[in-house]
Amino acid sequence: MEWLTCVRTAIAYMEEHLTDGVSAQDAADRVHLSPFFLQKGFSLMTGHGIGEYLRNRRLYRAAVDLRETDDKVIDIAFRYGYETPESFTKAFTRFHEATPSQVRGGADIKTFLPLTIKLSIHGGDQMDCKITPMFPFKVIGFQKVFDNETAYAEIPKFWDEICERYALSVYAGNAPANPYEQALVDNCIGEYGVCIDDIGGGRFRYLVAGKYTGGNVPEGMVVYEFPRGDWAVFNCIGPIPEALQSMNTRIFREWLPGNPEYELCGSASVEWYDCVNGEKTDPDYHSAIWVPVKRRE
């Protein structure tokens, strides 16, 4: 399904099922797309995570129901997915800056209407992208689970944690002192950042990784294999993480919408980092984003 159609269809589906407990997983199933890619693209295109969008829409509709009906607060709370009146009142008050009883009495409410997605064309510069067929390959790395809505802020902290714990000593020229440092050296861990969407619930696995060369896999580390397929490779120049995050935004706002040849496939993507030349803070630092794609039928 064409990308803009995917997002529009997902929004329409969520609007139809606001009172049915619909989730990001349900919306992704509706458009036959990986929840990770839908969540990521939705957030980059709209500025809202899917969970945030659903929450805000439900709280707005709840306020309208308080204004336009005589339904009990507890019934409205259950209607929009809250298990107790207390949890509903807390979320409602935080969003509207007024309690349900105050809104029913005439207090102002915060408006949050359904999103409308439109395509706009910006500038004339081309994105540095090439379609590259790749044989199956394996990566090995340190893994952590992230929430789709907070990942942009949290993943750089994970990189800092892994670097401080396992990389600083060997980067300083010391011989590996434990199996983790040895794996880091043997597999060039830090060359890849890998997003894997296979656990659901608005979360995904992220690996600080390298290309697996065989041998020992220390306890707690994981190996993941990518199947053979086509990848869209987007080259990126600039300091990290800002340059990659900006490129991510352009991919979902500019390259995917209306693309006549390719669409997303699979459930994982890769960030590539140049581990040989330059520092990640350099203005000319080289990195890339690899996204699995397939030709449109």
Instruction: Give the mean pLDDT of 30-43.
Output: 85
What does the pLDDT look like over 115-161, one tens digit per residue?
876 655 444 445 678 999 999 999 999 999 998 878 878 998 999 99
Which amino acid does the sequence have at 281?
A: T
Which stretches of 54-151 are assigned E, i.e. beta strand?
Answer: 129-134, 137-147
Helix, strand, or coil (residue 226): strand
Q: In percent, how much of the chain has pLDDT > 70? A: 96
Going 212 to 214 to 218 to 219, the CA torsion angle's sign is positive
51's torsion region: left (phi>0), alpha (psi -120 to 50) or beta? alpha
Distance CA 206, CA 6 (A): 24
Residue 39 predicted with pLDDT over 90: no
> CB-hemisphere CA count at 13 Å for 98?
17
Distance CA 1, CA 24 (A): 17
**Which domains, and CATH codes, for the chain?**
3-104 (1.10.10.60), 129-295 (3.20.80.10)
Distance CA 243, CA 42 (A): 19
Mean pLDDT of the chain: 89
- Which has the higher per-residue pLDDT, 124 or 194? 194
